């Protein structure tokens, strides 16, 4: 990849997985994201219930990746919205050589568009130590709705939602 390569956002194809795993390996080495290298990296990039996955390409290289999944009850509770109103952003990472070029912003814009088309709003969870991700989410005006300790993990997690259109009174949040 070079600095002048055009960035292209597109749905992930199965054939992209080896290059996604290669990009993830660089991110894991630099950022410990994920903390431990997964036994099944392709499975890690294809979380349970995944509805979509997107990549950003620079030339032939995968430089960014994002999966979209149902949020699950715990994340919906942390966000204070019903599960059906939410679309979770997962497995978001950008290759170390492509940072600060707006790659993650492109992916998050796609998450917003995809969620909006389904009447949903994106929700994201990030470890409190992930300063870049926190900077990314807070710059874009996402709302920090809570901090929790994930089940069985020592890490503390911050939960963000993209400001949503007004809800009907029937769309009650969890109490
Ligand atoms: C977090 C991450 C996805 C950001 O990717 P990126 O493509 O470099 O982000 P963008 O270029 O779209 O940045 C958009 C904005 O986010 C904020 N931001 C991004 N990286 C930042 C950093 N290191 N420190 C502070 N703010 C940062 C800035 O406001 C930036 O705008 P600016 O460059 O105009 O100042 C990337 O650093 C990464 O992959 N980190 C490791 C994996 C990870 O933490 N994933 C998220 C798990 S929840």
Domain count, the chain: 1
pLDDT value, residue 164: 53
Q: Domain containing 93 — which CATH number?
A: 3.40.630.30
**Who lines ligand 1 at CB under 6 A?**
27, 31, 33, 92-94, 99-105, 126, 130-133, 135-136, 139
pLDDT value, residue 68: 98
Distance from Cα 139 to the centre of ligand 1, integer Å: 10
Contact 143, 110 (CB under 8 A): no
Q: What is the mean pLDDT of each run of 10 residues along the chain (175 residues)?
A: 84 98 98 95 97 96 97 91 95 96 96 95 90 87 75 69 55 36
Q: What does pTM read for this prediction? A: 0.90
pLDDT value, residue 21: 98
86 part of a folded domain? yes
171 part of a folded domain? no
Structural domain including 65 reads 7-161
pLDDT value, residue 146: 76
137 part of a folded domain? yes
1 part of a folded domain? no
pLDDT value, residue 138: 87
- Cα gap 21→104, rounded to integer Å: 17
Cβ-in-10-Å burial (0-12, 13-18, 19+) of 139 comes to exposed
Ligand 1 atom nearest 64 alpha carbon: 7
72 part of a folded domain? yes
DSSP state of 161: E
175 part of a folded domain? no
pLDDT value, residue 142: 77
168 part of a folded domain? no
Residues 26-35: contacts with CB under 8 Å, at least 24 apart: 26/95, 26/96, 26/97, 27/93, 27/94, 27/95, 27/96, 30/96, 31/93, 31/96, 31/130, 31/132, 33/93, 33/130, 35/155
Ligand 1 atom nearest 103 alpha carbon: 7
**CA-angle at 148, arms to 147 and 153, nearest 5°:** 135
Distance from Cα 107 to the centre of ligand 1, integer Å: 11
Distance from Cα 132 to the centre of ligand 1, integer Å: 5
Report which protein residue has its CA nearest ligand 1's atom 43: 93
174 part of a folded domain? no
Report which protein residue has its CA nearest ligand 1's atom 22: 132
């Amino acid at each position: 990849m070079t600095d002048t390569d055009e960035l292209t956002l597109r749905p992930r194809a199965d054939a992209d997985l080896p290059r996604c795993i290669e990009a993830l390996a660089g991110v894991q080495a630099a950022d410990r994201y994920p903390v431990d290298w997964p036994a099944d990296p392709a499975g890690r990039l294809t979380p349970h219930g995944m509805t979509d996955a997107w990549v950003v390409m620079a030339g032939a290289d995968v430089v960014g990746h994002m999966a979209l999944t149902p949020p699950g009850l715990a994340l919906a509770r942390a966000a204070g919205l019903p599960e059906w109103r939410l679309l979770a952003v997962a497995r978001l990472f950008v290759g170390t050589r492509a940072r600060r070029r707006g790659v993650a912003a492109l992916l998050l814009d796609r998450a917003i568009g995809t969620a909006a088309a389904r009447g949903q709003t994106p929700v994201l969870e990030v470890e409190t130590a992930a300063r870049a991700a926190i900077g990314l989410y807070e710059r874009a005006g996402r709302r920090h709705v809570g901090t929790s300790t994930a089940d069985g993990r020592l890490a503390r997690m911050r939960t963000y939602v993209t400001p949503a259109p007004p809800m009907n009174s029937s769309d009650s949040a969890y109490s």
